[in-house]
Structure 1
Amino acid sequence: MKRAMQIGAVLATLTAATAVSAAEHEVLILPDAYFPSVVYLDEGDTVKFTNLTGSEHNIISKHESWALGPIADQGSMTMVVEQGVQTTFYDANAISEEDGSFLVEGNLSFADAPLD
C-alpha cells in the first residue's frame, strides 16, 4: 500500500511537471505585421493570436494545413503547437493585388531562441 502511494505521488509530480513545462506565447496581429514575427517554442506550447487591427482577420498556414479565424477585432484564438505543424503563417486578409502573394508573414520555430 505504501509503495502504491509513493508511485502515485511520483506520477502526480511528473504529470504536474509536464503540465507546467508547456508555455503560452502571444502573437499580436497588427495592421501590417505580426509581433513578434517569429515565435520560439517547444512542442505542446500554445500560441494565442490577438487581433489589434480594427477589423476581422483570418490566419492561415502555408499550404493551408491549418487556419484560425475569423478572429474579431480585440478577439483572440489559441492553438496548441505540435511537432510537424506547418510553421509559416499568413494573414489571409492581406494579399497583394499585383501578384496574389501574402503581404504579412509570421513563423513558428522549434529552434532555440537567439540570445541578444
Structure 2
Amino acid sequence: MVEDNVLRKIEQGDQTLYCVDQLMAIYREVATLQREHSREELTSALDSMRSTITDWKRSYDAETPGELRASIADLDDADEVEERRKVASEWEHLDDRIPIVRAALNEYDWATDRDSISA
C-alpha cells in the first residue's frame, strides 16, 4: 500500500508507523470530482457551500465554527446547543471540502484533456 501511495511509512526510532497519505487521498478525491461531475455541477456545489456558510455567519453572528462552538457556553436550551454543534460540524466539513472542489475546478480542463481517450 505504501508503493501505491495509499499509506505513508514513517520511521520513529525503532518503530515503523503507517498513516494515510493525505496528499494522495486529496489528489484522488479531486480526480473523482472531475470525472464524476461537470464543471457546472462543481461550480454550483461550491456556490452552495459558500452560501450556506455565509448564512450561518449571519444567523449565528459567528465568523468561524470555533466561534459558533464557543457561543454554546451562553445557552441553556439543549436543542439550540445541539443545533449549534451540528451546524459547527457541518461548517467544518464544508471548510474542508471547499478547497478540494476549488482544486477540481482550477484544473478541470487540464485533467479532462488528459483523462479522455483519443481515437
Q: Report the TM-score when normalising by structure 2.
A: 0.20
Q: Which has the higher helix share?
A: 2
Higher relative contact order (CA 8 A, sep 6+): 2
- The structure whose Rg is larger is 2
